[in-house]
């Protein structure tokens, strides 16, 4: 499958338009709750890659706590906002405009953070998981935060296709042999900008790549 063709490119335009038409930060300026509620995820001094990081709320949070942050997103407006947020917080982040397919996945990090990256079809998700695993050093930590299938119909964010969602079984099987540090499914009220707002069906998956 050629992921650089067809709906994938349309998707790129759609995200940029969404950000351009938002007054202010579409997903807010505060980090995803998975980070604030699990402060042990932060590894001061360690490197982290924040994938499809949007407007930088998670990247800036981690940089403020001493992590060496690299991030990317394909929407230029989002990346510009991420840079502005970092400047305001007086922290350095290396954030680039790049699509998933163009990113250099051979660079290695201590941690990879993926928050709400469920734009991927099940086919593309396989590639996402392989890419993120490749980008981790042995023993490195993967942090995934997203929606379960129960999210569909709640109307509080995310794609409307259940096939894009994560289940505990799906993630456990995809990362078989990894040391799972947290696997939790739960419902809660989320207020993360206008993009994610209301009762939400969530999943956290944190695991260490085999050393």
> Contact residues for ligand SAM (CB under 6 A)?
11, 15, 27, 32, 52-54, 57-58, 73-75, 78, 99-100, 115-117, 119
What is the CA 42 to chain-centroid distance, rounded? 15
How far apart are CB 36 and ligand SAM at their closest, in Å? 13
- DSSP H helical ranges for the chain: 7-21, 33-37, 57-64, 76-89, 122-134, 168-174
Q: Which is nearer to ligand SAM, 88 or 179 (CB)?
A: 88
Per DSSP, 194 falls in state T
Q: How many residues does the chain have?
A: 211
Phi, psi of 203 (to 5 degrees): -145, 135
Q: Give the distance between the most distant pair of CA atoms in the chain.
A: 44
Q: How far is CA 167 from the centre of its chain?
A: 16
The residue (of 159 and 185) whose beta carbon lies closer to ligand SAM is: 159
Closest residue to ligand SAM in the complex (CB): 54
The nearest distance, CB 170 to ligand SAM, in angstroms, is 19
Question: Measured from the CB atom, is 5 or 169 closer to ligand SAM?
Answer: 5
Q: What minimum distance in Å lies between the beta carbon of 32 and ligand SAM?
A: 5
Shortest distance, CB of residue 136 to ligand SAM, whole angstroms? 18
Is the CB of 69 or the CB of 78 nearer to ligand SAM?
Answer: 78
The answer to whether residues 80 and 25 touch, using CB atoms and an 8 Å cutoff, is no
Identity of the residue, 67 or 74, whose beta carbon is nearer to ligand SAM in the bound complex:
74
Q: What residues are paired with 187 via a beta bridge?
A: 201
CA distance 210 to 146: 23
Rounded to a whole number of angstroms, the minimum distance from the CB of residue 176 to ligand SAM is 25
């Amino acid at each position: 499958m050629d992921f650089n063709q067809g709906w994938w490119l349309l998707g790129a335009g759609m995200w940029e338009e969404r950000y351009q038409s938002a007054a202010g930060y579409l997903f807010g300026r505060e980090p995803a709750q998975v980070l604030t509620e699990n402060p042990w995820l932060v590894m001061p001094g360690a490197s982290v890659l924040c994938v499809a990081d949007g407007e930088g709320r998670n990247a800036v949070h981690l940089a403020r706590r001493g992590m060496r942050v690299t991030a990317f997103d394909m929407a230029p407006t989002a990346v510009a906002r991420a840079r502005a947020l970092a400047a305001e917080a007086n922290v350095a982040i290396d954030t680039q405009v790049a699509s998933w397919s163009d990113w250099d996945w051979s660079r290695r990090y201590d941690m990879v953070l993926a928050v709400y990256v469920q734009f991927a079809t099940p086919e593309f998700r396989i590639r996402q998981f392989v890419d993120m695993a490749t980008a981790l050093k042995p023993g490195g930590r993967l942090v995934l935060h997203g929606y379960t299938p129960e999210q569909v119909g709640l109307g509080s964010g995310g794609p409307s296709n259940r096939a894009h969602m994560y289940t505990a079984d799906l993630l456990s099987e995809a990362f078989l042999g990894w040391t799972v540090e947290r696997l939790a499914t739960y419902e809660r009220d989320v207020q993360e900008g206008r993009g994610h707002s209301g009762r939400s069906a969530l999943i956290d998956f944190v695991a260490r790549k085999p050393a």
